[in-house]
Structure 1
Amino acid sequence: MIIGAGEVGRHLARSLQAVAELILVDADAKALTEAEEGLDALTLVGDGTHRSTLAKAEVHRAALVVAVTPNDAANLVSAALAKRMGAKESVARVDDPDFYETNQGFERGALLDIDAVLCASRLVGVELLRRLAEVRARQVIPCAAGTVHVASHVLGEDAPLVSRGRSRAASWPEPVRAVIRAGAMRPVAEVTHAELGDIVLVAGAPLVLLETLHGLTPASGSVRTTIVGGGDVGVQLAQLLGPLGLLDRLIELDRGRCWTLAEQLDGVQILHGDGTNLAFLREEQVGRADALLAVTGSDEANLMTSLLARELGVDHVFALVHRPGYAGVYSHLGVSGTVSPHETIAQVIHWQQHGLDALIVGRWPLDGLAVEVLELRLGEDDVRLSDLPLEGCVPLQIAGATMRTPKPRSTLSRDDHLIVAVPTGRVATLEKVLRKRGRKRSS
């Protein structure tokens, strides 16, 4: 059940209609009429915060209820009420960043018995952090609704860990979980020295992973980022990147907003200027940036800024796309690094919907390696990690109400997701054994 037939609700419904039976609820009959065009879903005119509306929609039969109206409070009420009336899972869109305890865009077990809340601007920010991490890594995989990123990174000859030589043991950063050498994967605890060409697997929260990759990269390879746009997305990214020394400056068109940002963002250089003005960008030597994020509220401005940045020599350009389907315009003009709030919300809801009953919630092959990253949800309480058949595998992260580093004595709950690196040849066997184990426990 989707409550809210605005742009987000319609986009979500279109993305889900092939994999789920849908009912779309909104108090605006006109919005539902527009949504019905080309959509295979039932519709109901009514207020999602009212028991009578949810009862008429048979909310007790819903596997998942998603409240995505433009009103944060209404979404929280609708999701909480749906859960109370028998929905299996409920998710609320809350766009106010101050509501959240973390800098993630997705939090589980928030309050009011709601299973999860999501913030569009923060989800976009998390995805942009992943894109920046890809500048340093060979691959970055988003797991657990983007709350965990897993990266594979090759150690070059000038990498700090390699340049120290074999005279002393490597001091591996804590988020480094495994080392792949000559095709063989080993837990990092079993690898004494770093060698040229080692591929390390790094796992953690998006900002932790980005910071770790920065530490694994020689100083000459550090990436300086310019942000164009001082709205919610730009501010949140500046707050994260600034303290790490990864932010060059933030450019904002509105002079009054610049003064506000200068007070809000300590230690961040704020420039008043137009990111779509070529003369301004040249004067400020924007081309010296390694990466640029165009995150204003205007798709046209973001597109123009991206094209100009590419023209000035910026190697990595990423742009925020607000309107569904507009990313194709960017791609046609040569800007492929686009991020859409609608798409990020849809991806998270697909993950939530798929994870209701699946053992393997996600599966990603690592490029050029005989290793895959699996996201597992066992759906049981009190499962000790050491009791699972993970021979030859390396647990990378546990994601649940909290995020934890996997240890042999770690215990999983039914809502925890285990991220694990598995040799490709063992995936089928591991799945078979885990399913057999689950059937034995349930019987």
Structure 2
Amino acid sequence: MRIIVVGAGEVGSNIAGNLDDDHEVVVIDTDEDRVDAITYECDVMALEGDGTSGAVLEEAGIEVADLVIASTDDDETNIVVCGAAKTVDDPFTIARVKKTDLLRTWERTEEAFGVDVMVCTDLYTAETIVDIVNLPGARDVGSFANGVVQMAEFGIDADSPIVGETVSEADRFESLTFAALIREDEVVIPSGETVIEDGDELVVIGSAESTREFAGELTPLPTVEQASEVVIIGGSEIGYQTARLLEADGLEPRLVERNPRRARKLAEQLPGTLVLESDATDIDFLVREHVADADIVIAALESDEKNLLVSLLAKRIGVERTLGVVEYGEYVDLFETVGMDVAVNPRLVTAEEITRFTREQRTENLAMLDHDRAEVLEIEVGEDSILLGASLREAMAELPDGVVVGAITRDGEFITPRGETVLETGDHVVVFVDTMVLDAVAAVL
């Protein structure tokens, strides 16, 4: 498939890097340095030019392109790119936007602006934050099969109640699968005798109920439903959307915003949220407003450094769990190392969502783990799938190492995968796949 990606920033580069092994990818950007960098980093053709120009799109091969992805940092540019692509030919178009107003306008009319799919970075980031907050202790969360199945990644440290246990000892839930242990130098597909070590990243897949119960065993931290206090620092669009989603879950969060005009507007738009006008980097304010009593502090300011500072201040006064928005992907590991519990990178989660649309049609959903060392895919079983009609034990014998079937749903009902389970057409299967064998697995599933 020929794919044109307009914008070679962090989102576009992530998308191109995820696709260059399987597709013919052309990347367009106005910045010469970015063009040179992506040419060096990825196996793509890179062009310096304006992606809104019909002539540049023609140079990129728009007439034979199957997909155009507009991923610059400017919403309007991305929409114009999609519209321009449609005037030359009829490729499938995906636009990345930040403004939720544009998303709402697009949703009212099918294929508005010449955009087939619109991915809203701020809304999708807020949804990701709420998913992680809902699962205490989780570093990454993915929802599959309309919420029936959940994937979660947990960091295991020396204080974890399961460190030193074997998988068979730690996995005490009927509808939960220990899919993998991600270690510094390898991805381990565990057997029952595999010992869970300090520093492991544990990936589990199972029913939403079992995943929550397991999270509760790992940590005493409360879920959103149990939390008595959630504080959001920053009235950015991500902060606003996070508060709105928490209100929809029945919570009454507090939100701190420094700008008086923005604070008043948020107070009007969020009837279930207490909006406080102040500078949240002021530790005296945090103490005075009893932010230390919060179960969770979410840092959603428009500065990575301030989000780190807020997280560290919250930790210092006694907050048990902090999440922060981190715009630059290279900061994620660093910030989590120095004290932020979970760093959420909007560009990375957006790239993941856009990449999902490039997969085979039966791939309903995906989550990328640990800088794309592994993926969790939701596959609908079709007539040509290796899984169809065979027992799971027989089908797995035909697949390479590095694959685990974590969950199955049939007609919306959860089925715990067993060796004797026989899959049917239309079943949804959630599969953990080591990236090293992804191409071979995707071809037969």
Q: TM-score, normalised by structure 2?
A: 0.64
Report % sequence identity: 30
Q: What is the correspondence of 1:61-210 to structure 2 with a 5 Å cutoff? A: 61-82=64-85, 85=88, 89-101=92-104, 110-111=111-112, 114-135=115-136, 140-143=141-144, 150-151=149-150, 183=174, 201-202=207-208
User: Which residue does 1:313 correspond to in 2?
Assistant: 318
Runs of 5+ consecutive residues of structure 1 not aligned to the other structure = 154-180, 186-198, 204-216, 365-372, 381-387, 397-405, 408-418, 436-443
Q: Which amino acid aligns with 1:3?
A: V
Q: 1:425 aligns with which of 393, 409, 419?
A: 419
CA deviation string 1:36-90 (max 9, x = no partner):
4534321123332333222221124334321012332332232244356556532
Q: Partner of 1:43: helix, strand, or coil?
A: strand
Once the two structures are overlaid, the 10-residue window that deviates more, 228-237 or 21-30, is: 21-30
Once the two structures are overlaid, the 10-residue window that deviates more, 260-269 or 275-284, is: 260-269
CA deviation string 1:173-205 (max 9, x = no partner):
xxxxxxxx97379xxxxxxxxxxxxx99349xx
Runs of 5+ consecutive residues of structure 2 not aligned to the other structure = 153-171, 177-204, 210-221, 369-375, 393-406, 429-445
User: Which residue does 2:252 correspond to in 1?
Assistant: 247
Q: Assess, with a 3 A threshold, how the Cα gap between structure 1 residues 325 and 184 changes in structure 2: closer, same or farther.
A: closer
Q: 2:262 aligns with which of 232, 249, 257?
A: 257
**Distance (Å, rounded) in 2 between the aligned partners of 1:363 and 1:69:** 22
Once the two structures are overlaid, the 10-residue window that deviates more, 242-251 or 279-288, is: 242-251
Q: Assess, with a 3 A threshold, how the Cα gap between structure 1 residues 201 and 27 changes in structure 2: closer, same or farther.
A: same
1:61 and 1:87 in contact (8 A); partners too: no
* Count of aligned residue pairs for this structure pair: 343
CA deviation string 1:18-49 (max 9, x = no partner):
55432111344454345445343211233323
CA RMSD of superposed structures (Å): 4.4
User: Which residue does 2:157 correspond to in 1?
Assistant: none
Q: Assess, with a 3 A threshold, how the Cα gap between structure 1 residues 19 and 343 changes in structure 2: closer, same or farther.
A: farther
**Distance (Å, rounded) in 2 between the aligned partners of 1:107 and 1:18:** 36
CA deviation string 1:119-150 (max 9, x = no partner):
11111101101111112999953338xx8574
Q: TM-score, normalised by structure 1?
A: 0.64
> RCO greater where, 1 or 2, for CA within 8 Å and sep 6 or more?
2
Q: Which amino acid aligns with 1:395?
A: T
Q: Partner of 2:271: helix, strand, or coil?
A: coil
Q: Which amino acid aligns with 2:285?
A: F
User: Which residue does 1:156 correspond to in 2?
Assistant: none
Q: Which amino acid aligns with 2:75?
A: D
1:138 and 1:151 in contact (8 A); partners too: no
**Distance (Å, rounded) in 2 between the aligned partners of 1:115 and 1:274:** 41
CA deviation string 1:84-135 (max 9, x = no partner):
6556532111221012349xx9999653563311011111101101111112
Q: Does 1:51 align with 2:45?
A: no
Q: Partner of 1:93: helix, strand, or coil?
A: strand
Q: Does 1:395 align with 2:400?
A: no
**Distance (Å, rounded) in 2 between the aligned partners of 1:93 and 1:432:** 34
Q: Assess, with a 3 A threshold, how the Cα gap between structure 1 residues 139 and 42 changes in structure 2: closer, same or farther.
A: closer
Q: Which amino acid aligns with 1:124?
A: T
2:234 and 2:256 in contact (8 A); partners too: yes
Q: Partner of 2:28: helix, strand, or coil?
A: strand
**Distance (Å, rounded) in 1 between the aligned partners of 2:114 and 2:381:** 21
**Distance (Å, rounded) in 2 between the aligned partners of 1:291 and 1:230:** 16
2:408 and 2:427 in contact (8 A); partners too: no
Q: Assess, with a 3 A threshold, how the Cα gap between structure 1 residues 390 and 262 changes in structure 2: closer, same or farther.
A: farther
1:138 and 1:152 in contact (8 A); partners too: no
Q: Which amino acid aligns with 1:302?
A: N
2:329 and 2:347 in contact (8 A); partners too: yes
